[in-house]
Amino acid sequence: MSLLQARIQLLEEILQLHSIDVDASIAILDAQREGVDGDGPLGTLPAYSSSLAFDQMCADLEGALYLDEPIDETEVLGSEARFFGATSGRLELQPLQPAEVGSSSEKEQTEIMGIDDIVSPELCEHLVSLYFEWEQPWFQMVDEMLFRESLHNGGPYSSTFLLLCILAVGSRYSDKVDARTDPDDPRTAGRLFAERAEALMRSDIETPSIPTIQALAIIGTYQMASGPFLGWLHHGMANRLMLDTGLNIHHRAVTGITALPPHEVRLRRQIYWALYCNDKLWANYSGRICTMLDSQATVPLPSPLSEDMPGQNRSHLITLQRAMITHCQILERILTRLYGPKRLVSNMERRGFFDSCILTLKGWHYSLPRELKAKAAEGTTGVSPHALILGMVYHTSVCLLSKPFLPQEYPDKGLLEIDGVPSRASVANLEAAGEICTLAETYREVFGGFRRSPLTATHCTLTAALVIMHLSADAPGALSVMGSSSAVLAHSQ
């Protein structure tokens, strides 16, 4: 409660700094609400407080999805509808009949030919299952149910290209030597599938579909472990195709298509947010700018499961993704305002941002469901590995927020307290590094190591290691953190 009160007080001070009278504004809002409830005109409705305002926003963002038309008889019809916005000039040339999106008649059917010669059905199922158990919950690019149904029935949500990419990443979690090109070298796991996927890539992107976007993002994750350049490139290609197919636009704001079925609406939403979160994590890994900003989309968060969609695991996945999304929205602000090319330069603005953002991060962590709070989940029998990684990501974000405010040297304690932000940043930084080490140790004890962890865990432990390496013994709390963390980091990889 004290955290909430401090947050409210800070927001009121910010409003007063901009000469905004809080009490007067509340009175105006109350009057507007009375007008809406009574006989007042709709024009008094507060902005974006109803579906009417959202409908108006959708009209302003109007766009259309079109299926590519072949230029001549040598070209084929595009497999996925493309999005064109209001500035493109295409909206005035809409087709008479709406395009069918997501129907199998407009897509290339899944072909398993070209897979059987390199993988047995048993190994294929083993690797696919590993992918959905260990990789998919963290990077939710694929809906397992839709993928498996399409894989067996020739539906639109699978392709040979996508299957090969899933097999490549799934091999990373397998101990079977059949998944390696060199049985004695675990680093070659999945290489054969990745090479075959690369060979199919060009033909697949000529007629891109949703599985094309998924496959590019997944193969980018695989390549990140061996060399970041190709991974970054393919991740960027997935982002471009995401814009090409309008996944960043609310489906109600798009014309030129028949009504999307509910399962495709959910899938498009899931893919967009998976790419959004991955973009923030990649920006973390590489120190590069974010290429997907929250302001560039109108996509709602994934919806909780309805009564007609039972499944405890699916519910957990949605809860995990929603938590990851809301955290990455905070992380975006940290990366753009403290590390971006147009970062904050005023000391007053920077310090105000630190105070505000550290409260936002703590509020996010406080509001997590119990199943995602690492410490609360430790005593349960079914602790989620991804809940532990999410906790590590949270504390890594605290380190990133604190880093620009750390003092170059640690004078005596009295001098640090003269300027409160460096002192608070130093304490928060040390505590976060210690928590990363604690969570890493828990992960290692429960799951036997980081053999099957997302690559994100490596960056989190690296961040903690760098904090500890650069600690001065004079920093507040340094000795206790260094003593408790050195052994953990030594065994975390």
Q: What average pLDDT does the chain have?
A: 78
Residue 286's pLDDT band, with cuts at 50, 70 and 90, is: confident
Other beta carbons less than 10 A from residue 392's beta carbon:
28
Read off the pLDDT of each residue in 206-222 and give the average, rounded to a whole number. 93
Give buried/exposed letters for 111-142 (b at 16+ CB in 10 A, else e).
eeeebeeebeeebbebbbebbbebbbbbbbbb
Which comes out higher in pLDDT, residue 451 or 174?
174
The phi and psi torsions of 309 (rounded to 5 degrees) equal -125, 70
3 state SS of 108 = coil
The per-residue pLDDT for range 380-405, each reduced to its tens digit, is 456 789 999 999 999 999 999 999 99
Asked if the model's pLDDT at residue 441 lies above 50, the reply is: yes
Tokens found for residue 389:
């990684």
Mean pLDDT of all residues in 58-77: 53
Cross-strand partners of 254: 63
Task: Give residue-wise pLDDT tens across range 90-129.
Answer: 565 655 444 554 444 333 443 444 577 889 999 999 999 9
55 near 253, Cβ under 8 Å?
Answer: no
Task: Say how far apart CA 144 and CA 169 lie, in whole Å.
Answer: 15
Asked if 223 and 169 count as a contact pair (C-beta separation under 8 A), the reply is no
The residues, ordered by sequence, that sit 6+ positions from 346 with a Cβ below 8 Å of its Cβ are none
Residues in the chain: 493
The reply to whether the predicted model has a pTM over 0.85 is no
Per-residue confidence (pLDDT) for residue 312, from 0 to 100: 55
Is the alpha carbon torsion for 56, 61, 62, 67 positive or negative? negative
Q: Each residue of 158-170: pLDDT tens digit?
A: 999 999 999 999 9
Asked if residues 159 and 215 have their Cβ atoms less than 8 Å apart, the reply is: yes
Q: Judge whether residue 278 has pLDDT over 60.
A: yes
Residues pairing with 83 in the sheet: 65
Give dist(CA 313, CA 316) in Å, integer: 5
Give the pLDDT mean for 317-321: 94
Strands 63-66 and 254-255: parallel
Listed in sequence order, the residues at least 6 apart from 480 whose beta carbon sits closer than 8 Å to its beta carbon are 434
Confidence of residue 74 (pLDDT cuts 50, 70, 90): very low
> For residue 203, what pLDDT band results from cuts at 50, 70 and 90?
confident
What confidence tier does 49 reach under pLDDT thresholds 50, 70, 90? very low
Cα separation, 93 vs 87, whole angstroms: 13
Taking CA atoms, 79 is separated from 212, 218, 409, in Å, by 10, 20, 59
Q: What is the pLDDT of residues 22-35, one digit of tens each?
A: 555 665 555 555 44
